Structure 1
Amino acid sequence: MPDEFTVTPWEVKGKVDYDKLIIQFGTQKITEELKHKIKNLTGGELHVMLRRNIFFSHRDLDLVIEDYEKGKGFFLYTGRAPSLGMHIGHLIPFIFTKWLQDKFKVNVYIEVTDDEKFLRNQEYTLDQTRSWAYDNILDIIAVGFDPDRTFIFQDTEYIRNMYPIAIKIAKKLTFSEIRATFGLETSSNIGIIFYPALQIAPTMFEKKRCLIPAGIDQDPYWRLQRDIAESLGYYKAAQIHSKFLPPLTGPEGKMSSSNPETAIYLSDDPKTVEKKIMKYAFSGGQPTIELHRKYGGNPEIDVAFQWLYYFFEEDDNKIKKIEEDYRSGKMLTGELKQILIEKLNDFLEEHRRKREEAKKLLHVFKYDGKLASEMWQKVHE
């Protein structure tokens, strides 16, 4: 069927119908009422990704807000499976998590799963995935997290401190549950079977409710967590889910680090960015200028517009004007792409500057910062 799609923690295929996905996963749509409550708590401001429903679905976000209003607080947790180079799409959960940290002044735990990447890919060595973790952490730090409230850790380094809670989690989960949740084969290595316990563990780093900003493809992990958390004396994890930034090649699937034609990498120079956008960015325009002037373009399928809408053009009035001009045919596809190219290159130039600074801050976030020091000394009872 042409409208079929697949969303798992490791694969996104087809054109995702997010309304159907909410029903399939049993999550809740973020309502205008919830947005209004958040706006009241953040000084009248909503992040562009909330305003435009890029973060669109949740579990227990209302309870997180209630806890905060009652003075109980909450903490944030997100993560990254390291790869040889991060792309623009990888930054979405980190940009949004950083905004939440700024507004609510809460702790952030960021898990870098070098173990999972090694276990799931036969062609990768552990040395490779550990090396990629170092590079990816620099890109994460460059987003601008508060060094006093952020702990970034690699599983292979922090396993000693996580292991006590991880084995308590593992004892609650059965092979049948893991196999059914992730579609594992009986030939899967036992590391993959145990790994979900490690990804669940950070949801129990504090005796507060944990809010996880992440792509909705990661939701299966938290369904498992929610089944066992209270039996271990912790809150069920709350989540806020994002849509997938469309790949350059069109509205189906998501960007891939292994396919350069689909993505803009954080390391791409200005000429590479321009070449990729002009050559590969899927157009919603007409075949000729004459037809485009007459009939206009379709921003719903135009990748350049969608990237601007997701977060590269934060001004609501400007994005509305761009949309109107493109629909009417006043703005051509090439002109729309040029706007994105300029925005992208400005963003990447600033990101690379901050990434260089991040090299001096690496130990703060991993070992020496206030939260990092506390976590390295802490062993769960």
Structure 2
Amino acid sequence: MNASEIDYAAVFQALPGAVALFDTDLVYADVNETFLRILGRARDQVVGRALSEAFPDNPRDPAVVGMRRLRDSLRWVETSGERDAMTPHRYDVESLDRPGVWEERYWSAVCVPVFGADGRVAMMLHWEEDITELVHTRGGRGDGNRDMALDAELYSRARELQRVNELLRAAHAREHEVALQLQEAMLPNPGCLTREGAAVRYQPAVGALNVCGDWYETVDLPGDRCAVAVGDVVGHGLAAACVMGQLRSALSASVRVADGAAQTLEALDLYAGSVDGAESSTAILCVIDESEHTITYSSAGHPPPALLHPGGSVDFLDQATDPPLAACPEPAPRVQAGTAFAEGTTLVLYTDGLIERRDEDIDVGLDRLADSLDRHRGLDPESLADALLTDLTPPVGASDDAALVVLRL
């Protein structure tokens, strides 16, 4: 039997543990039979209902916040894309036979993300085990003193684990704040983006501190010229943001003294070889000459910029692509190409988070970008940037960073 012949719905229902599936609105999408049996509910009393409706917290005991803890865990899983093993906790359940009577219950639970075809969290799987018998005194069975001591020890351990979890969450939040401050400090001065007809968007992936390893840089050059670059560091989070800042600064310095786009990336290639974590980063550099109406460009393994012509046709600048930065044992000369443009042309630089999807050829994403540019060609750069993000990024939780620069030439 191969995977296509397996009835996964039947497998889900046969699982011996209590398992539930939530959608991103925290509505029960499905539960298995074990879940219904342990919780004492019928399927129509759970499936299709929100978590807070199906299993509210005990209104008579505000200290018991099991539903809110589960809600927070599910939201964290959706945002981070990571699993969360909850500390043992109390989550009382109202008796169906005796409305208003709440059964004291204790649970050990794990919440796991389920990713959709677009790489974003589409659902959350929740597994839980009823550990009430381990926590409650088992009056009349065995040594009552021993049971009470065991209960006290388990409760103490649970409280310790809960406190550790809270400290880890606080540390995560603090690291997030520091990373965002670092990233903001490393963002470039607007440069030629201060002129009319320019827009930039910077969208981190969900999770991994919500901090980008993607970057952009703009530099005003002598004459009526401007350099615009976009790059992508492998990975996410604080480490990627640090590498991003180093590469962006190095390019900003190199483009001011190098002779053209290719020579700038050759210098950046040498520098990347000395920076831990910079290997296989990608970058694209365009040098725009407004007086000559030309663009010269060079790419280090980066997706090609798009050139939207006033009539709506789209060309991709893909004639000067070399391997990513520090990807070769020995640096080598890089290629450079050029193209002319008419007044009113729009140049769009971006990172792969805008166009790439798991299990999809990159050409599909490029076609999607070209189609969106054609449909929105009458928009100003700010509106066009928003439209591109709406069209091209999944609606829930981006799984990859995306940087986008739109220039009306």
- Specify which structure has the bigger relative contact order, considering alpha-carbon pairs within 8 angstroms and separated by 6 or more residues: 1
**TM-score under structure 1 normalisation?**
0.25
Q: Which has the larger radius of gyration?
A: 2
Q: Which has the higher helix share?
A: 1
Q: Which has the higher strand share?
A: 2
**TM-score under structure 2 normalisation?**
0.24
